[in-house]
A = this chain, B = another copy of it.
Amino acid sequence: MKKIKIFSPATVSNVTCGFDILGFPIESFGDEMTISKSDNIGVRIAKVNGYPVPSDPKKNVASVSAEKLIRHLKPDCGFDIEIKKNIIPGSGIGSSGSNAAGSVFGINKLLGEPLTTKQLIKYAMTGEGVSSLTEHPDNVAPALLGGLVMVKSTEEENIISLPIPKDLFCFVINPKIEVKTSYSREILPSKVELSLMTKQVANFGSLVHALHTSNYNLLRSSLVDNVIEKHRKKLIPSFDKVKTKCLELGALGCSISGSGPSIFALTKGEGDANKINSEVSKIYKETNIDFSTYVSKVSSEGIKIIDSD
C-alpha cells in the first residue's frame, strides 16, 4: 500500500457529566485525508482544501502526531498528507482531533499495522497538544476506536469502550462562530461544590450502568451536567432555547460538545433526532448565525478507509 484515503470523523466530547472523560464520533461528518508514502524522509502537509489549517508541519496537528509516530517506528520512507478540511477549527467537535488521529491511523496502515489502533492514541494526543495546549485523548480516542469511549486516564488500559444501546442517535448543531478552547477553559471555576461533585459522580456512574443495561430511562436522568455547562453556555447564542427544544422533543440529554459552540443531543431512535434537527434549525435561523447540523447513529465505527492503492 502506497497511498490511503480515509474519513476521520468529527467527535463529540465532554458528554454531559463525562467532562474530560466521555466522547463519541459523529458517523456522518468529518475530514477526508489522503496520506501517501514518499521517498523523502519526514512528514509534509502537501495540500489543504476547505477550512484553513497550518501547512507548516511543526504547527499542523496531523503532521505533529505523525512525526511522533515515525520517530517511534523509524520507517525508511516519508509521508505526504493532504487534508480536505470539512470541520471548522474551534467548533467543539474535535476538528484537530480528527486530523491528529487520521494521520497516525493512515501511516500505521501504510506501514502494515505495526501498532494496534489503541496504541496509536498516545501519538495522536501529541497532535492535540499543538492546538489545545493539553494532550488529551477525549477526541482522538473516539475518532480512532469508534463508539462511546471513556477515558479514565491516558494509559492504554484506561481507555475504555463502553457498550452502545441499540437505537442511540445523536443530533449536533455547529454554529459557525469560533470559541477558543483555551478561553472556554479559562471561564471554568477552579473549584466545584462538594455536593455538585457528588451529583456529577453519581450521574456518570449511572450513565455507565444505563449503557450496560440499555436502560433508556436511567440514561435520560443521567445525561446531565451540573458543573460545566452553566459556565460555558454563555458563549453559545440561544443555548437555552435549543436545549429546551431538544428535551421537549424527547432528547435523552443535551449539552455542549467539547468546549463549544457546538451543541449535541442524544436520542432514542433516528426519528427524534430528525425532529430535533428540523426544529432547532428553525431556532438557529433566527439568530442570523450560519450553522450546520448533523444527525448520526452513535456507532462503533471510528476512522474509515475510503480508498487505498
Q: Which residues of A contact B (CB under 8 A)?
A: 17-22, 150-153, 157-158, 160, 162, 188-194, 197-198, 200-209, 212, 217-218, 221-222, 227
18 contacts between A and B (CB under 8 A): A18-B201, A19-B198, A20-B198, A21-B198, A21-B205, A150-B206, A152-B202, A152-B203, A152-B222, A158-B221, A160-B206, A160-B209, A192-B192, A192-B193, A200-B201, A204-B205, A206-B208, A208-B209
Smallest Cβ distance from A152 to chain B, in angstroms?
5
Do residues B162 and A201 form an inter-chain contact, with CB atoms below 8 A? Answer: no
Smallest Cβ distance from A154 to chain B, in angstroms?
11
Name the B residues within 8 Å of A158 (CB-CB): 206, 218, 221
Name the B residues within 8 Å of A22 (CB-CB): 205
Closest to A163 in B: B212
Name the B residues within 8 Å of A227 (CB-CB): 194, 197
Our pick among B21, B191, B201 for the contact of A19 (Cβ within 8 Å) is: B201
Smallest Cβ distance from A148 to chain B, in angstroms?
11
Name the B residues within 8 Å of A209 (CB-CB): 150, 160, 162, 208, 212
Of A197, A203, A221, the most chain B CB neighbours within 10 A belong to: A197
Name the B residues within 8 Å of A222 (CB-CB): 152
Name the B residues within 8 Å of A194 (CB-CB): 188-192, 227
Our pick among B189, B190, B205 for the contact of A208 (Cβ within 8 Å) is: B205
Name the B residues within 8 Å of A217 (CB-CB): 157
Smallest Cβ distance from A162 to chain B, in angstroms?
7
Known A191-B191, A194-B190, A208-B209; judge A202-B17 contact (CB<8 A). Answer: no
Oligomeric state, in copies: 2
Closest to A160 in B: B209
Name the B residues within 8 Å of A193 (CB-CB): 190-192
Our pick among B17, B151, B153, B191 for the contact of A192 (Cβ within 8 Å) is: B191
Name the B residues within 8 Å of A212 (CB-CB): 208-209, 212
A154 to B209, CA, bound (A): 17
Closest to A201 in B: B204
Name the B residues within 8 Å of A191 (CB-CB): 191-194
Smallest Cβ distance from A95 to chain B, in angstroms?
22
Smallest Cβ distance from A24 to chain B, in angstroms?
14
Smallest Cβ distance from A241 to chain B, in angstroms?
27
Do residues A152 and B205 form an inter-chain contact, with CB atoms below 8 A? Answer: yes
Of A200, A203, A208, the most chain B CB neighbours within 10 A belong to: A208
Known A152-B222, A222-B152; judge A205-B202 contact (CB<8 A). Answer: no
Name the B residues within 8 Å of A189 (CB-CB): 194
